[in-house]
């Protein structure tokens, strides 16, 4: 079966970033003279009378076509007691329409060897379909049907609810997932970002069919959506086919959304989640980051690459792992969203070395702010970002995803063309300024999931420690 639905149980705090950019260990960026140009075919656009924006890119290198519908509303809109609403709605799209059952949909897409998926993010909800060009009509028909005609059957809701709750509880057995969940809640509190995209056992039980229908009716409208088709197609024929399928989709007023910016932590706020059987402790540290629209995006991305986002070349990995031997893995990340997502540092260590690890993480921020990055560090970061950029446009699905990102965050028509120039324009002084402006070692949330009797005293060195038992 090629139906794919996604249950986002890790709260996308440290591991999801629109636009990507994390270094893969062992990847060596090409030298500047070896850079392949980013060559995209002509991007054709049209907006239907109902407000639906269409984008078509002809890409004839493979006999494949990718359809992607983005609704510009996601989990950021979920009320706290209904966390998981956007996720649940998206997951149900492929589980039955007015003319097809969930089994029918699965069998039809499987018969043509395609993929059909529906999934949420913080700022969007997506429906995606990939098929061989010769199965274009089947793919478009299924894609249109699940996007426009879901029925949200009660039996499918209950089946998905049971599966999602079971999976959530299973994932909570992993201390890493626990740490991610507690970190999000501790940093953001009752703000939507303090919950998990796919919800918890409690919030999933709260969901009613009426909530799902209302969410779909309010936000799955053409004037809140963008539809991209990329692949082995003819633009004129595609525009005609899309207008026939989506032209009668009714435009409606979109409810006003108040995406209130969360409150940043003041001082070091420390939470210890007691896990009595833990021999290692999971550590999450961080504070509010930036919105994707921030004009310092490129400088911040390079700064973070040097500090902790650059795999084996990052300062955190060199010190905390290689020199001190405290962990196998440590990573920092800015999660860019419409409003400030988190900046987070993720690692694990033995219970007895938690304090040492926390101290070194903070120390490396302070050193980074006081001392400029080395020329080689910046050059490595720039080589990675410029060298890996063409890899984001190798398939029709990747092309569609990159264009969705540009549309969602209104990055401009020249974003792809100017991307490398903006990366190259970042200076050593810019990196130092970014470290001082956007890293806050004195104002952080620190969350540790570990054994209280072995960890508590180490954490008191940094301030008052709140202790919670696992719930």
Q: Is residue 454 part of a domain?
A: yes
> In Å, how far from its chain's centre is CA 150?
25
CA dist., res. 174 & res. 8, Å (int): 15
Same domain, 61 and 161: yes
Same domain, 272 and 242: no
Query: CB-based contacts of 89: which residues, under 8 Å, 6+ apart?
Result: 120, 125, 212, 215, 216
Q: Are 187 and 342 in contact (CB under 8 A)?
A: yes
* Per-residue pLDDT tens listing for the chain (471 residues): 445 444 444 333 333 333 333 343 444 555 544 666 677 889 999 999 999 999 999 999 999 999 999 999 999 999 989 999 999 999 999 999 999 999 999 999 999 999 999 999 999 999 999 999 999 999 999 999 999 999 999 999 999 999 999 999 999 999 999 999 999 999 999 899 999 999 999 999 999 999 999 999 999 999 999 999 999 999 999 999 999 999 999 999 999 877 777 888 899 999 999 999 999 999 999 999 999 999 999 999 999 999 999 988 899 999 999 999 999 999 999 999 999 999 999 999 999 999 999 999 999 999 999 988 999 999 999 999 999 999 999 999 999 999 999 999 999 999 999 999 999 999 999 999 999 999 999 999 999 999 999 999 999 999 999 999 987
Same domain, 236 and 308: no
Dmax (CA) of the chain: 68
Q: Are 364 and 303 in contact (CB under 8 A)?
A: no
CA quadruple 246, 252, 255, 257: dihedral sign: positive
**Residue 29 pLDDT:** 54
- Integer-rounded Cα radius of gyration of the chain: 23
Q: Is residue 258 part of a domain?
A: no
**Residue 30 pLDDT:** 53
Same domain, 186 and 301: no
Q: Is residue 74 part of a domain?
A: yes
**Residue 464 pLDDT:** 97
What residues make up the domain containing 103? Answer: 3-246
Long-range contact list for 364-367, CB < 8 A, 24+ apart? 364/307, 364/308, 364/315, 364/316, 364/319, 364/320, 365/307, 365/435, 365/439, 365/441, 366/441
Same domain, 391 and 424: yes
**Residue 7 pLDDT:** 41
Q: Are 106 and 93 in contact (CB under 8 A)?
A: no
Residue with tokens 């939507």: 192
Q: Is residue 256 part of a domain?
A: no
**Residue 36 pLDDT:** 66
- Angstrom CA distances, 173 to 274, 279, 455, stand at 14, 14, 20
Adjacent-strand bridge partners of 55: 45, 228
Q: Is residue 253 part of a domain?
A: no
Q: Are 399 and 67 in contact (CB under 8 A)?
A: no
Last residue of a domain, one of 186, 214, 246: 246
CA dist., res. 388 & res. 22, Å (int): 10
Angle between helices 452-459 and 354-370 (to 10 degrees): 30
Q: Are 353 and 2 in contact (CB under 8 A)?
A: no
Would you list the DSSP string of 403-459?
A: HHHHHHTT--TTHHHHHHHHHHT--HHHHHHHHHHH--TTSEEEEEEE-HHHHHHHH
What CATH number does residue 25 fall under? 3.30.830.10
Give, for 183, the enclosing helix (H) or strand (E).
Answer: helix 175-188
Same domain, 192 and 292: no
Last residue of a domain, one of 192, 214, 246: 246
- Angstrom CA distances, 38 to 388, 392, 399, stand at 10, 9, 11
Same domain, 339 and 221: no
Same domain, 168 and 303: no
- Angstrom CA distances, 37 to 33, 149, 449, stand at 11, 41, 45
Q: Are 149 and 35 in contact (CB under 8 A)?
A: no
Of 196, 191, 223, 249, the residue nearest 85 (C-alpha): 196
Would you list the DSSP string of 215-239?
A: HHHHH-SGGGEEEEEEES--HHHHH
Q: Is residue 251 part of a domain?
A: no
Same domain, 170 and 211: yes
**pTM, entire model:** 0.89
CA dist., res. 267 & res. 70, Å (int): 39
Of 72, 78, 65, the residue nearest 128 (C-alpha): 65
Q: Is residue 442 part of a domain?
A: yes
Same domain, 82 and 142: yes
Q: How many domains does the chain have?
A: 2
Same domain, 119 and 242: yes
Q: Mark out the alpha helices in 295-442 (DSSP H runs).
A: 297-304, 315-316, 354-370, 375-388, 396-408, 415-424, 428-438
Q: Is residue 262 part of a domain?
A: no
Rounded to 5°, the CA angle 438-443-447 comes to 110
**Residue 101 pLDDT:** 97
CA dist., res. 340 & res. 440, Å (int): 14
**Residue 34 pLDDT:** 60
Same domain, 325 and 225: no
């Amino acid at each position: 079966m090629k139906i794919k639905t996604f249950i986002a149980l890790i709260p996308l705090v440290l591991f999801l970033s629109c636009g990507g950019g994390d270094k893969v260990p062992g990847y060596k960026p090409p030298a500047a003279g070896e850079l392949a140009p980013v060559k995209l075919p002509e991007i054709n656009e049209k907006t239907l009378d109902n407000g639906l924006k269409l984008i078509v890119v002809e890409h004839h290198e493979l006999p494949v076509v990718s359809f992607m519908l983005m609704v510009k509303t996601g989990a950021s809109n979920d009320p706290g007691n209904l966390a998981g609403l956007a996720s649940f709605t998206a997951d149900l799209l492929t589980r039955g329409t007015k003319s097809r059952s969930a089994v029918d949909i699965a069998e039809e897409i499987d018969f043509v060897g395609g993929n059909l998926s529906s999934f949420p993010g913080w700022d969007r909800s997506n429906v995606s379909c990939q098929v061989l060009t010769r199965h274009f009509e089947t793919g478009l028909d299924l894609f249109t049907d699940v996007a426009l005609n879901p029925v949200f059957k009660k039996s499918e809701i209950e089946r998905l609810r049971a599966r999602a709750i079971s999976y959530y509880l299973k994932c909570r057995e992993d201390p890493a997932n626990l740490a991610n969940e507690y970190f999000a809640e501790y940093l953001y509190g009752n703000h939507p970002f303090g919950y998990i995209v796919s919800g918890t056992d409690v919030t999933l039980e709260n969901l009613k069919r009426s909530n799902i229908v209302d969410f779909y009716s309010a936000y799955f409208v053409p004037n809140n959506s963008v539809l991209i088709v990329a692949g082995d197609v003819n633009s004129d024929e595609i525009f005609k086919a899309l207008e026939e399928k989506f032209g009668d989709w009714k435009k409606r007023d979109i409810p006003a959304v108040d995406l209130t910016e969360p409150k940043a932590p003041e001082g070091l706020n420390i939470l210890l989640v007691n896990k009595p059987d833990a021999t290692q402790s999971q550590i999450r540290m961080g504070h509010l980051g930036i919105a994707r629209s921030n004009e310092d995006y490129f400088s911040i991305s390079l700064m973070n690459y040097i500090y902790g986002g650059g795999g084996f070349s990052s300062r955190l990995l060199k010190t905390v792992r290689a020199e001190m031997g405290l962990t196998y893995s440590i990573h920092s990340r800015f999660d860019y969203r419409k409003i400030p997502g988190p900046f987070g540092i993720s690692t694990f260590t033995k219970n007895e070395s938690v304090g040492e690890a926390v101290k070194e993480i903070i120390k490396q921020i302070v050193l980074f702010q006081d001392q400029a990055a080395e020329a080689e560090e910046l050059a490595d970061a720039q080589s990675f970002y410029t060298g890996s950029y063409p890899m984001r446009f190798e398939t029709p699905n990747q092309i569609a995803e990159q264009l969705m990102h540009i549309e969602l965050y209104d990055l401009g028509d020249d974003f792809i063309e100017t991307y490398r120039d903006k990366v190259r324009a970042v200076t050593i002084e810019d990196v130092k300024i970014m470290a001082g402006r956007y890293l806050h070692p004195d104002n952080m949330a620190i969350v540790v999931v570990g054994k209280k009797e072995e960890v508590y005293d180490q954490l008191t060195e940094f301030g008052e420690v709140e202790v919670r038992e696992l719930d």
